[in-house]
Amino acid sequence: MARRERWFGALLVIATLAMLTACGLGASQAPPIDPVGTADLKPAQRDASAGMVTVRPGFDLSKYSSIAVTQFAVTDSGVMNKDEVKMLITIPFYFQTRLVGRLRETKMFKSVEPVKEGSAAPTDAGTLRLEGRITRLAAGDDTSMWVPFSGYSRLGDRTKAQIETALVDAQSGQVMVVTADRREAPNPGNQSAQDYVQDTFEALARDLVQFIERLGKGEAARTN
């Protein structure tokens, strides 16, 4: 009886760990690597949501009634497998779509619109542009093996994603806010590489919009 109870307890722990893993959204946050920023604005302050950020002194988000979201170009120059090459097309559009959707849900702006690829970005007064680039996009390995009492363990590379973003005054072209956020972790084993990368960019969109919401409330960037 005691042995059966011990086995039951062990199985319960494994099931709990698996549930906790499944509840996470993509890879976990990690310190950004070599963020570039702009000529006079570099991501320098740690933020719990958006990674590293810097806000230009005097920036007031309430002055803007609309925001336009561009597609982020992938600037990762690393060698990519065929699945990652496909993501060069799918992930920028997916990320733009999720940013637009989450910004609309906040109701912070009267207008939230995506900038279509190949279209000119708006330059209207009272408009912000959210633009940026994906500087790291590595899907990692979705092959796994079962390890007793530990669940599935990854056999290959970790999933890595890093973005750099800028909030730009559309009329003047001046960059008002910069951020850099990185996500990195092994695929836990319950998702394909494509799904895990999409979940990672969903989390990046969620947390960036949370940061923008705090800016709208006049809150300074919070540190961990």
The CATH number of the domain where 90 resides is what? Answer: 3.30.160.150
The answer to the question of residue 111 being in a domain is yes
Chunked mean pLDDT (size 10), the chain, 224 residues: 48 38 73 94 94 95 97 90 87 97 97 92 94 93 56 66 98 97 87 90 97 89 53
Residue 211 lies in a domain: yes
Q: Which range of residues forms the domain containing residue 102? A: 2-216
pLDDT of residue 36: 94
Helices 193-216/82-106 angle, 10° precision: 30
**pLDDT at residue 142, rounded to an integer:** 58
Question: pLDDT value at position 176?
Answer: 97
The reply to whether 221 falls in a domain is: no
Per-residue buried b or exposed e for 34-56, using 16+ beta carbons within 10 Å of the residue's own CB: ebebeeebebebebebbbbbbbe
| 25 found inside a domain | yes
- The 10 Å Cβ neighbour count of residue 140 is 22
Residue 188 lies inside a defined structural domain of this protein: yes
Residue 110 domain-assigned?
yes
Q: Which residue has the tokens 């990652």?
A: 84
Q: What is the domain count for the chain?
A: 1
Instruction: Evaluate whether residue 77 is within a structural domain.
Output: yes
Residue 10 is assigned to a structural domain of this protein: yes
pTM: 0.82
C-alpha span between 170 and 162 (Å, rounded): 24
Any idea how long the chain is? 224
